[in-house]
Amino acid sequence: MAVIHRTTMSPGKLELIASWLPSKPWYRGGDAPLLAKAGGFRLDDPEGEVGIEFMVVTDTSGASLVTYQVPMTYRGMPLASAADGLIGTSEHGVLGRRWIYDGTHDVVLVEQLLALLAGRTTAQDQNASDAPDPTVEVRTGAAGMAQDLTGPGTVTVTVTDTADASLVTVGPVMDEGPVSTLTVCRVLRPGRAPEGDGSAGRVLAGWSAPDGARQHGPFAHLAASER
């Protein structure tokens, strides 16, 4: 169970994200993002070592408002395999220095997102300890795909960023078995997910618009891919 500490981080999450966002191909704002937290949820690391958060931020720096999803992991040590996904480091008031990664590059977040799609774990409230988030919706699709890929230490990940998403190619460590593509939506749009497209599962969740209106839409989906 993830424990939410009521403390400070320096620099803060929004400050770190604002410095990192303009480097991504799916960023659509101005030279300097103007960010506000808009929602999100958490997942638990079964080993209790890695913080996992799916943060939603709204940027008002460009010609039009854009809402982004930024999955992040928080670690007490650097992770060499995720070096390309480092967002930055921050001093946590309780835990000390934390290395913060774009979670699409961190196998722990990817494994737990697959576990969520397979029904093996439950989304947690972003701001409270030991509190499931019932607003996060998981839709199962092609039977068995997410289940086959889950399990600690069993997958490797390769990330390709597009204009509005990160495509995470997920395969077994031993290069045997199914390979799938986990699409993590970066530019969030409210609305229903498409039906009948062969998806192995989808995650939908909510966020708040600047005027307080509740929005809801796709966050991620899983599909089979070729080797």
Q: Which of 118, 153, 116, 151 shows the shortest CA–CA distance to 41?
A: 116
How far is it, in rounded angstroms, from Cα 65 to Cα 60? Answer: 5
- Whose tokens are 């722990």? That residue is 108
**C-beta atoms surrounding 82 within 10 Å:** 22
> Residue 147 and residue 163: Cα distance in Å, rounded?
29
Q: Determine the pLDDT at residue 17.
A: 97
- Give the integer Cα–Cα distance in Å for 181 and 222: 6
Ranges of residues in the chain whose predicted pLDDT is under 70 = 1-6, 141-154, 173-178, 195-198, 225-227
pLDDT at 71: 98
Cut 0.95: pTM above it: no
Long-range pairs for 11-17: beta carbons < 8 A, 24 or more residues apart: 11/88, 11/90, 12/90, 13/37, 13/55, 13/72, 13/90, 13/100, 14/57, 16/87, 16/88, 16/90, 16/100, 17/55, 17/57, 17/70, 17/87
Q: What tens digit of pLDDT does each residue of 140-162 get?
A: 765 455 555 555 556 788 999 99
Q: So what's the pLDDT on residue 129? A: 84
Hey, what are 99's tokens? 């290395």
Which pLDDT value is given to residue 171?
A: 80
